[in-house]
């Protein structure tokens, strides 16, 4: 069902470079700490809703539906700023996160699996 906040500004839409599924990557970063919380996907509607409501709204590829971060868990994202990268294929959301961002209960989806630990500088 279409809502009034489903339409993305045409000037913004023209700048997006979507993948074959019509999606762009969305990275949520915690305002203040700079911690990268999660990565999800957005289409034009999800981005339009995020911009209109200030709530992190994403598109689930597996469920093929929209979801608002924290709608069921209470772990919400209040979006403070949205930036488009230089290629137009990724948005960066600076958010105020309430509760954990990861579905596993971790603060960040990047808290657990360090593939290359930081090396000490010479």
Q: What is the pLDDT of residues 19-66, one digit of tens each?
A: 999 999 999 999 999 999 999 999 999 999 999 999 999 999 999 999
Question: pTM for this structure?
Answer: 0.90
Q: Determine contact, residues 47/56, Cβ cutoff 8 Å.
A: no
In a domain, 17, yes or no: yes
User: What range defines the domain where residue 12 resides?
Assistant: 4-97
In a domain, 43, yes or no: yes
Q: Determine contact, residues 56/68, Cβ cutoff 8 Å.
A: yes
Between CA 6 and CA 39 the distance in angstroms is: 21
pLDDT digits (tens, 9 = 90+) for 58-88: 999 999 999 999 998 999 999 999 999 999 9
Question: 102 pLDDT band (50/70/90 cuts)?
Answer: very high
Percentage of residues in the chain having pLDDT higher than 90? 83
Cβ-in-10-Å burial (0-12, 13-18, 19+) of 50 comes to buried
In a domain, 108, yes or no: no
Count how many domains the chain has: 1
Question: What CATH number corresponds to the domain at position 65?
Answer: 3.10.20.810
């Amino acid at each position: 069902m279409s809502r009034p906040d489903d339409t993305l500004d045409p000037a913004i839409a023209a700048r997006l470079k979507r993948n074959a599924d019509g999606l762009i990557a969305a990275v949520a970063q915690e305002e203040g700490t700079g911690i990268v919380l999660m990565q999800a996907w957005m289409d034009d509607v999800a981005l339009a809703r995020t911009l209109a409501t200030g709530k992190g709204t994403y598109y689930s590829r597996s469920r093929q539906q929209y979801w608002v971060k924290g709608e069921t868990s209470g772990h919400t994202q209040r979006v403070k700023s949205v930036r488009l990268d230089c290629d137009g294929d990724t948005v960066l959301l600076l958010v105020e996160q309430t509760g954990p961002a990861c579905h596993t209960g971790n603060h960040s989806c990047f808290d657990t699996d360090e593939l290359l630990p930081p090396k000490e500088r010479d």
